[in-house]
Amino acid sequence: MPDMPVLDHILFSQEQLKTRIAELGRQISTDYKGKQPLFVGILRGSIMFYADLLREISIDCNMDFMCLSSYSGTSSTGEVRTMLDLRESIKGRHVVIVEDIVDTGLTLDYLTKNLQHRGAASIEFCCLLDKPANRKIEIHPKYVGFQIENEFVIGYGLDYDELYRNLPYIGVFKK
Ligand code: IMP
């Protein structure tokens, strides 16, 4: 265990993340065979997950990104904003939104509303972590890496006040 005062314990090691992400990659590659999906990474939290997941995708696909903001410290501000929008049109495309974690569900709800009028052939969510205990809006991502308890986690792209995104594992934040 690394000597980090802010870390209570490690929840998912690098090996556990790698194994589960490889499974997700295989499943998505099978489900989207022949569909050339567009993977949309939600910045900044999904960056590590996105990069590792896409390396496990074995079919033709495209990449794009959106940058959203909603969190400050360990609680959601409740207001989601688009800081950077998609570069390409999603008309007729099979879109897979890649997100780090679903907590209240406000971000996924915002994305659903924001993208539904853009004419995509389909839109699904792939989230590394799912924290169902804290949901404000009922939403069920199709692809989920791990379900977790209602704890604040850091690392592997996830931050606390813009710190700790660079940790290669996911750990529980010590309050
Ligand atoms: P939601 O809109 O409440 O579902 O939250 C989604 C966003 O909140 C995620 O994309 C994360 O950036 C952030 N978030 C939620 N829970 C955590 C956490 O435990 N650690 C770090 N960020 C989190």
**pLDDT tens for each residue of the chain, 175 residues long:** 677 889 999 999 999 999 999 999 999 999 999 999 999 999 999 999 999 999 999 999 999 999 998 755 566 667 899 999 999 899 999 999 999 999 999 999 999 999 989 999 999 999 999 999 999 999 999 999 999 999 999 999 999 999 999 999 999 999 7
pLDDT given for residue 70 in this prediction: 77
Q: Which atom of ligand 1 is nearest to the CA of 158?
A: 21
Residue type, 86: L
pTM of the model: 0.94
Looking from the CA of residue 131, the nearest atom of ligand 1 is 16
Distance between terminal CA atoms of the chain?
A: 18
Residue-level pLDDT at 77: 63
For residue 34, how far is its CA from the centre of ligand 1 (angstroms)?
Answer: 32
Encoded tokens for 2: 């690394």
Nearest CA owner, ligand 1 atom 3: 104
H/E stretch holding 17: helix 14-31
Q: Is 39 in the pocket of ligand 1 (CB under 6 A)?
A: no
DSSP letter string, 117-130:
GG--SEEEEEEEEE
Distance 131 CA to ligand 1 centre (A): 9
Do residues 102 and 139 make contact, with C-beta atoms less than 8 angstroms apart?
yes
Two tokens at 156? 């592997």
Catalytic residues: 103
Residue 52 Cβ < 6 Å to ligand 1: no
Go through 119-154 and write b for each residue having 16 or more CB atoms within 10 A of its CB, e for each that does not.
Answer: ebeebbbbbbbbbbeeeeeebebebbbbebeebbbb
Helix axes 47-54 and 14-31, enclosed angle (nearest 10) = 60
Residue 100, ligand 1, Cβ within 6 A: yes
